[in-house]
Structure 1
Amino acid sequence: MSALIEAIEAEAHGNFREALERYEKLTGSGPLLDRVGIYQALARCNEKLGRLPQAGAWRRKAGQGYLALQDEEMARDERLYLALVEYRNAVQDLHGDSSLREVADEYAAVLKENFSGGAEGLTHEGLFAGAFFQALGNHLLAAKYFFDTAEAMSEQAADSGDRSARLAAVAAYERARDYATKAGRADVARVAQMRATDLSQEI
């Protein structure tokens, strides 16, 4: 029987330890995109077993795999976003682990690529990044992602007239102001405060 099918069946039946053993034998062969799928399966099984540091390591490897794909295998924007999702999961799984800061640097690089065209369509990712880097003590990056995401949310609120969206944008601007202040970027803090004040008047 196919080793891959046996691994998938074990996972589907909730036999995560058996699935881990079977998936681990499949990491060294096959096309890269298929191996990324194996890395993701290993991460899932480890997460189900409560082995978060091991899961985070596989999430990181899946993110690296997406980044290594070529244009003929997957469009650049798609693989960058999928890599971002894997890295976001990785830094969550690695919370408190000694490897977190190293992986956070890779996560920051992938975020930068994804946000190079703006934060539109990346609201959750931007807010998570702001909160993550704030917790890590990187107030400058926290301010950046809260501010950039607030800009996109503000535009969405203007288009939709959604009051809750405006409130969320104001909260994001206020966080950007606070963390920019802590990072010594008074200029960014002033702009964030102005945006928050102006938007609050529209609520």
Structure 2
Amino acid sequence: MSHLIDAIRAEAEGNFKAAAGHYVHLTESGTLTDRIGIFQALARCHEKLGDVKTAGQWRRKAGGAYLGLVDGAMPKDERQYLALVEFRNAVQDLADDPSLEEVAAEYKTVLAENWKGGPEGLTHEGLFGGVFLMGLGDHAAAARYLFDSAEAISEEATEAHDPVMREAARHAYELAREAATKSGNMQIAQVAEVRAVDLAQPQQ
């Protein structure tokens, strides 16, 4: 018996319960990169089965494993981003789960590491992170991600003359204003409000 071949065959046939039963035997085998693939496969199977809480724990393990890779296996920027994707999936899957607070702290750390280079290419992650952290009451961090994302989206909208992006930027500024106000950062709140009002004006 090959658990790997049997798992892949079962998953290909849509038998996700059987696939997960085989994949779980492979979580300690192979390289760390191999195990990441197994963790992701287990998460995928459990998501298909509707068991998102279990899936979230496997997403969390995949995210942590990405962070454990060395430069020779994968460049730092790439593994940090892939870890962020896994931790984002984990916090979504683990909503209302007792482990959410701990996983959210891990997600926040990875998001901050990715954000060191600025919001370019990460505006979706910044918006999600901002809204998610607002929900947890971390308004200071939320304001940062929402404001930075709004700035990047607004710039893109101006360059592309894109009304849809312009509207998205306006709403992002409004969320940033709300988060900044709740965190007591009135300077950012005022700037965000002014820019939201500007974007609400008809485009020339």
TM-score bin, normalised by smaller chain: over 0.9
Identity level (%):
60
SS at match of 2:111: helix
User: Shift of residue 139 of structure 1?
Assistant: 1.5
**Structure 2 counterparts to residues 42-81 of structure 1, below 5 A:** 42-81=42-81
What residue number does 1:100 align with? Answer: 100
**Structure 2 counterparts to residues 160-171 of structure 1, below 5 A:** 160-171=160-171
Q: Distance in 2 between matches of 1:120 and 1:33?
A: 27
User: Shift of residue 198 of structure 1?
Assistant: 3.1
Q: Distance in 1 between matches of 2:88 and 2:31?
A: 24
User: Shift of residue 161 of structure 1?
Assistant: 1.0
User: Shift of residue 197 of structure 1?
Assistant: 2.7
Q: Distance in 2 between matches of 1:201 and 1:114?
A: 33
Q: TM-score, normalised by structure 2?
A: 0.95
What residue number does 2:129 align with? Answer: 129
User: Shift of residue 49 of structure 1?
Assistant: 1.3
How big is each residue's C-alpha offset from its partner over 1:75-108, in whole Å with a ceiling of 9 and x where there is no partner? 1111111111101100000000000010000000
What residue number does 2:156 align with? Answer: 156
SS at match of 1:117: coil
Q: Which runs of 5+ in 2 are unaligned?
A: none
What residue number does 1:10 align with? Answer: 10
How big is each residue's C-alpha offset from its partner over 1:116-166, in whole Å with a ceiling of 9 and x where there is no partner? 111111121111111111122222222111111001101111211111111
Q: Distance in 2 between matches of 1:14 and 1:184?
A: 51
Q: Distance in 2 between matches of 1:136 and 1:160?
A: 34
Q: Distance in 1 between matches of 2:169 and 2:132?
A: 18
Q: Residue 37 in 1 paired to residue 37 in 2?
A: yes
Q: Distance in 1 between matches of 2:123 and 2:105?
A: 20
Q: Distance in 2 between matches of 1:190 and 1:78?
A: 36
SS at match of 1:119: coil
Q: Distance in 2 between matches of 1:177 and 1:202?
A: 21
**Structure 2 counterparts to residues 177-196 of structure 1, below 5 A:** 177-196=177-196
The two structures, once aligned, show a CA RMSD in angstroms of: 1.2
User: Shift of residue 202 of structure 1?
Assistant: 6.0
Deviates more, 1:74-83 or 1:192-201: 192-201
Runs in 1 of length 4+ with deviation above 4 angstroms?
Answer: none
